[in-house]
Homo-oligomer: A and B are copies of this chain.
Amino acid sequence: SLARIKASGLKLQLCTNETQATREDFVRKLRAMGFDVSVAEVTAPAPAACRILRERGLRPHLLVHDDLVPEFAEIDKTNPNCVLLGDAAENFTYANLNEAFRVLIGMEKPVLISLGRGRYYKETDGLKLDVGAYMKALEYACDVQAEVVGKPAKRFFESALAEMGVPPEQAIMIGDDIVNDVGGAQRCGMRALQVRTGKYRPSDENHPDVKPDAYVNNLAEAVDIILKQL
């Protein structure tokens, strides 16, 4: 399906909330699975966060997955004036959480940036708490509201659109997550299809706030429909 989109001349951008690996690693994994994707075609929270850090002169204390650290290689991390939280997985230790908390509570005006607000996800060995849960813990302890980078943040979709040079009304989001993919894209002025695969649950079709522009059974069907309308 990806190959068919690219062959048609349409522009393509993959929007992921992956924060356990660099974009380079993520693309390497996709290519190993046979997908013809380049790093420039991937919009991910960490590079988006780097742009924000640079724009606002923020020096982060990082609580992220070891494999994500290279994304912040060029960022000044001395004398931190914000805390940047990703899905740190095994790095979510009691000591690391207390350390991030101390950095945050020690600021005159605490700034917490979170790479996503997911509640949990499934791995082969079971369900795991996602970054959103730890974000809530720090928000509560410091009485602060995190700034979320990544889906469903409007700014995140805007940067994907900017990457393609396409206005929102000419773009279509295809995703399996009713809130993060469909809701986020629609709030940005895009149309959005929900695939009935992956995270999709039949109860999504009764979601109180978000209604996709259409449902499709899978990505292949979405591409069929889009290409037919060209």
Contact A126 B102 (CB under 8 A): yes
Copies of this protein, total? 2
Q: How many A residues touch the partner, as a band? A: 20 to 34
Judged by a CB distance under 8 angstroms, whether A139 is at the interface is yes
Contact A101 B127 (CB under 8 A): yes
Contact A141 B137 (CB under 8 A): no
A142 cross-chain contacts in B, Cβ below 8 A = 119
Give chain A's interface residues, CB within 8 Å of chain B: 89-90, 92-94, 97-98, 101-102, 105, 119-120, 126-130, 132-134, 136-143
A-B contact pairs, 20 of them (CB 8 A): A90-B94, A93-B93, A97-B129, A98-B126, A98-B127, A98-B128, A98-B129, A101-B127, A101-B128, A101-B129, A105-B120, A119-B141, A120-B141, A129-B141, A132-B140, A133-B137, A133-B138, A134-B137, A136-B139, A136-B140
